Amino acid sequence: MDPGKSGLLVPKQDPDALADAIIQLLADPEKAKAMGRRGRELVETKYNWKTIVRQVLDIYKEVLAKKKK
């Protein structure tokens, strides 16, 4: 995630910070929409099935290569 561009990060167990982030987005709907679009693009790119399968196969290949040594 790219804080401020594809979403907002707040400290855990900090309801005031969460409320402030929500208020910030409610005050600027265009920014909220843009962040939502960028967040969705990030998830669709990074976590699509083709990418995940490729990453798992790369791990298997790496493990097998180490076993052969």
Residue 1: the pLDDT is 63
**Rounded CA separation 43/35 (Å):** 12
Chain segment 41-57, per-residue pLDDT in tens: 999 988 899 989 999 99
pTM above 0.85, yes or no: no
* Total residue length of the chain: 69
Of the candidates 48, 20, 40, the one whose C-alpha atom is nearest the C-alpha of residue 8 is 20
pLDDT number for residue 46: 86
**What are the tens digits of pLDDT across the range 30-44?**
999 999 999 999 999
| pLDDT tens, position by position, 2-28 | 778 899 999 999 999 999 999 999 999
